[in-house]
């Protein structure tokens, strides 16, 4: 397969922090020696049934497990995450959070330079989102995101991650309001380090006054659940993206057939992977994007 120059460049950038699927790099070790063990202060955020832990962050007690430029060192990243109680009503509970795009902390700025921009990432506290097994029945990753059809994409900065409407190969576009991604981790990767990941991106597009997700229009402002159902079909990995109204039914389901960098999902062995983290690759400059109810749980 011949990949575009843009794709190769983006993969080179990503591989410095997250190993690209085509050519995994040697992981950089940091954090706990066992990411499924969390500090006592965060223990209530997790289901204690080992070895696959159900992770839930409702942002009612803070933003534990989410990291942006405010966190120093390699665990931090770019962007901003902040607990909120005013503005839009939370999707559940008394509080929610907002995420925004910004430059990186000093560690990553020294690598990518001052012009690089991205949103925060969420591996869970002490890498609680990194499972060490493939759970029977697969697993589900959910995040509630507030959407408003009146949003438009702002002008882009040179260093931003922007992805096309199919969630596939990277392209630069002035229509992307934000790009949300879920990742899975190769279980052969060290449990306490960054190894080899695969990404499934969901670009949210502003087009002619419409807000589109995979070509489907979101016509009403409110909370929506972004759900990835990650399963096993005869030993092959399956990924389905679902968009649901927060207090209603599923609006649509679409199978994800390729990873962010073009691998065919069904070519991957399901039991080689486990849960990893979510990441806002890009958020339109100036947008404080409301999020709530982050779940990682076993499938049925």
Instruction: Report the CATH number at residue 129.
Output: 2.60.120
Domain of residue 270: give its range: 5-27+54-298
Q: Is 279 a member of any domain?
A: yes
Q: Which residue, chain included where needed, has tokens 């939370």?
A: 90
Q: Is 124 a member of any domain?
A: yes
Q: Is 45 a member of any domain?
A: no
- What's phi and psi for 10, nearest 5 deg? -65, -40
Q: Is 230 a member of any domain?
A: yes
Q: Which residue has the higher pLDDT, 28 or 75?
A: 75
Residue 287: beta bridge partners? none
Share of the chain above pLDDT 70, in %: 74
Number of domains in the chain: 1
pLDDT score at 192: 55
Closest by CA to 173, choosing from 197, 195, 155, is 155
Rounded Cα distance, 195 and 158, in Å: 27
Closest by CA to 282, choosing from 149, 110, 162, is 162
**pLDDT exceeds cutoff 70 at 213:** yes
Q: Is 48 a member of any domain?
A: no
pLDDT score at 174: 62
Rounded Cα distance, 298 and 135, in Å: 7
| Residue 112: pLDDT band with limits 50, 70, 90 | confident
**pLDDT exceeds cutoff 60 at 5:** no
Q: Is 197 a member of any domain?
A: yes
pLDDT tens across 74-109, in order?
Answer: 989 999 999 999 889 999 999 999 999 999 999 999
Q: Is 265 a member of any domain?
A: yes
Q: Is 289 a member of any domain?
A: yes
């Amino acid at each position: 397969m011949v990949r575009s120059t843009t794709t190769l460049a983006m993969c080179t950038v990503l591989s410095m922090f997250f190993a690209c699927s085509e050519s995994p790099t040697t992981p950089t070790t940091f954090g706990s020696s066992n990411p499924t063990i969390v500090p006592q202060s965060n223990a209530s955020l997790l289901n204690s049934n080992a070895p696959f832990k159900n992770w839930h962050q409702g942002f009612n007690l803070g933003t534990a497990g989410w990291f942006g430029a405010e966190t120093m060192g390699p665990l931090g990243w770019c962007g901003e995450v902040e607990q909120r109680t005013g503005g839009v009503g939370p999707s559940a509970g008394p509080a929610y959070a907002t995420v925004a795009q910004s430059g990186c902390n000093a560690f990553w700025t020294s690598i990518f330079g001052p012009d690089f921009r991205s949103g925060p990432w969420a591996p869970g506290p002490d890498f609680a989102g990194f499972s060490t097994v493939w759970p029977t029945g697969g697993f589900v990753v959910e995040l509630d995101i507030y959407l408003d059809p009146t949003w438009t994409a702002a002008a882009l900065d040179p260093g931003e991650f922007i992805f096309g409407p199919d969630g596939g190969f990277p392209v630069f576009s002035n229509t992307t309001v934000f790009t949300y991604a879920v990742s899975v981790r190769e279980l052969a990767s060290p449990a306490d380090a960054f190894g080899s990941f695969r990404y499934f991106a969901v670009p949210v597009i502003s087009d002619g006054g419409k807000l589109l997700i995979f070509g489907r229009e979101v016509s009403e402002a409110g909370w929506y659940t972004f759900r990835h159902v990650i399963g096993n079909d005869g030993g092959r990995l399956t990924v389905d993206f679902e968009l649901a109204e927060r207090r209603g039914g599923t609006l649509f389901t679409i199978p994800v057939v390729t990873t962010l960098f073009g691998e065919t999902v069904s070519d991957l062995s399901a039991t080689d992977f486990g849960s990893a983290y979510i990441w806002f690759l890009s958020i339109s400059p100036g947008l404080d994007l409301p999020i709530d109810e982050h779940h990682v749980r076993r499938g049925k």
